[in-house]
Every structure is written in C-alpha cells, then in structure tokens.
Amino acid sequence: MKLTTALGVIAVAGTLFAGSASAGDITGAGATFPAPVYQAWAVAYKDKTGTGLNYQSIGSGAGQTQIFNRTVDFGASDAPVQTEKLAQQKLLQFPAVIGSVVPIVNLEGVAANQLKLTGPVLADIYLGKITKWNDKAITDLNPGVQLPNLGIVPTYRSDGSGTTYVFASYLADVSAEWKSKVGAATSVSWPAGAGGKGNEGVSGTVKNTKGAIGYVEYIYASANNLVTAQLQNKAGKYVSPTVPAFQAAAANADWAGAKDFAASMINTPGDTTWPITSATFILLPKEPKSAEQAAEVIKFFNWAFDNGAEIAEKLHYIPLPKDVATRVREAWKAEVKVDGKPVWSN
C-alpha cells in the first residue's frame, strides 16, 4: 500500500524510507501508528542535517523483537513495555508523540462522524454479540440515521500491534466482559471478524468491505478518506475525532506519576476528550553497541521535539508537552551510556 500526504509521507511494502541509506543513517522498526510522522520528520531532518532514517513499519510486536535482538538502532512500540522487561533488556523507554485510534466504518449513505457509538456497543460488536447494523443497540443511538439490515464485519490487526493494545485497552476499560474474556495486549484472541496486517491492512479491508468496521490511527483514516464515527466519552458526551479532542485527552494524562513514561490517556475525564488516545514509545538501548549511533538517534528525536510540532499537528498527532520532553532529555543524559559516559549531553 502507498500512503501519501501533503508532507510527502510514503509507505511502501511496510518500510518507510527517507532518501537513500548511507553510513551514519539510523535504523528503527516497529509501530505503524506513528510511522507517518516519523517519516515526515525524517524527510525534514535529512534536509537539515544530511542524516537519514530507515524505519520499518512492521508493528509494535516485531519492533520490540528487533530491538531486543539489537538488529536496529531503536525500536518503536505503541504498547509500553513492562518495567521488568525494560530492565532485563537494558532499554530506556520514552514517548515520542501522541496519537489517537479511531473507529472507521463502510456504510453506504453514512457520512463521516454521523454514526454514534458507545464503548459498550463497540465492545459488543467485537465480541460478536451485535452482528447487524440495524440492531436496536445501534439504532437507538442514531435516530434519523438509515442503518441497513447488513452484517457487521469487525476488522482487526492480524499482526502484533500497539494499535491493538490501545484499542483493546479502551474496550477493557468500558466493558467488563471484554476485560475478562479478551483483555488487552498487542495480540489478542478476537471473538469475531477478519484480520488485516498493519494500519494499512485494516484501512484497506474496511474500505473494500461493505458493512466493515475497524480501528486505525487517525492519519490512516484521514489519508484514505475513510468514514470515522463519533464515540461517547467518559463524561457521556459524543465527540468526533479531532486534534482539539486529542489534545484534551493528552492534557489530562498523569505524566508525573507514570513509571517509564507510560502515562495512560485511555478514557480520560473531560467533556471534550477523545477516549482512545495514547503516546507511542521509543525503545533505546541503555548500553548501546555504538555510542555514535545512539547519539544520532537521540539527536533525531531531540530535533523532532524542538522542530517537529507543526509537522506532527498537520498529520493530526499531538506533540509531547514541553515538561515531558524535558524529562525525556534528562533520561537520555542519565541512562544512555557507553563505558559509563553519557552518549548525549546537549
């Protein structure tokens, strides 16, 4: 699949490229959720510094595996790695940017954000309990919307996915049955539906399947002109997926109390908050094989924190709050070392 935006983000065969690779370029692998903004940052960074980024958009699970095996300079995961695993693997975890997961549907005659869903109804769809679009549980939420007697095709990620972790975490928060039967992880046992690989695969499956519903990072819905739905948030308000709604969710996160920067933005309070919002994380070795390569990774994200906000916002991502970026920089200095010496000190 090819994904193109006004900023020139291109995804081909699961790998994102920022120009031709050369010595000194950095390599990363993992989450598809942030791939468009990493690529847009990479293009701008290469123009500025000459250093490129080769990022493999292969899913959070595979990205974790690659950094565990040290086959890339950094890994990327939407699902935060547990503290014990980080210690075992000698990894620093830090957030890079904030994004949101949105439900997408393929229903003839239903416009973007016309359909309203609640968390429990969405969970019951993915549990296989609600199987028709004209089910009373859906029509009661949508008076005046013509919903067809059409089977629902729940679509999910077939690969290990941080986007799945974020979406399943939301379903577990709003549905006790989902929490007990399915839970939240990068891969879960889906009770119903069809799988697609990557955000790209889910987008494509929904776009080509009448009656389908899926979940993707917002940029994939926007770039592919997919129909998104409103969700009822914790305050009981129906909200559309918009940057201000994502910002409202990020503003309520408990960054100070979060270990390893893993602050939750799932179903946070507030009348305007979007309920499925999450940071996405970078995994960087604390004792890297190459001080130079680790420093290049840090330089890239340091530049992104200082210069990448406008690019991120154009792609509907939320930059990190400034105080969080400051804490990340302190962690780079304190924890990423070779022979006891920090690899980055700016």
pLDDT tens-place string over residues 274-311: 999 999 999 999 999 999 999 999 999 999 999 999 99
pLDDT band with cut points at 50, 70 and 90 for residue 17: very low
Q: What is the mean pLDDT of the chain?
A: 90
- pLDDT level of residue 142 (50, 70, 90 thresholds): very high
Residue 122, classed as helix, strand or coil, is: helix
* Nearby residues of 125 by Cβ (< 8 Å), 6 or more positions away: 152, 154, 213
What residues contact residue 117 under an 8 Å CB cut-off, 6+ apart? 103, 138, 141, 229, 230, 231, 232
**pLDDT level of residue 22 (50, 70, 90 thresholds):** low
Q: Which fold has domain 101-276?
A: D-Maltodextrin-Binding Protein; domain 2 (3.40.190)
Instruction: Give the pair of three-digit tokens for residue 245.
Output: 């709604």
Q: Is the pLDDT of residue 179 over 90?
A: yes
Q: Is the pLDDT confidence value at 152 over 80?
A: yes
Q: Give which of 123, 184, 192, 189 is closest to 155, Cα–Cα.
A: 192
Q: What is the pLDDT of residues 303-342, one digit of tens each?
A: 999 999 999 999 889 999 898 999 999 999 999 999 889 9
Task: Name the CA radius of gyration of the chain, rounded.
Answer: 20
CA angle 150, 153, 157 (to 5 degrees): 165
Q: What is the pLDDT of residue 161?
A: 83
CA distance 70 to 290: 11
Tens of pLDDT, residues 47-95 = 999 999 999 998 888 999 999 999 999 999 988 999 999 999 999 999 9
Nearest to 316 by CA among 199, 218, 216, 239: 218
pTM: 0.83
Residue 30 φ then ψ, to 5°: 145, -130
The b/e string for 228-253 (b: 16+ C-beta within 10 A; e otherwise) is: bbbbbbbeeeebbbbbebbbbbbeeb
* Percentage with pLDDT > 70 across the chain: 93
Q: Which CATH number fits domain 11-99+279-342: 3.30.920.30, 3.40.50.2300, 3.30.70.3450, 3.40.190.10?
A: 3.40.190.10
- Tell me the average pLDDT across 39-45: 96
Between 217 and 239, the more confident residue is 239
* Segment 208-217, tens digit of pLDDT: 999 999 999 8
The CATH 3.40.190.10 domain(s) of the chain lie at: 11-99+279-342, 101-276
Query: Within a 13 Å sphere around the CA of 77, how many CA atoms are in the beta-carbon half?
Result: 29
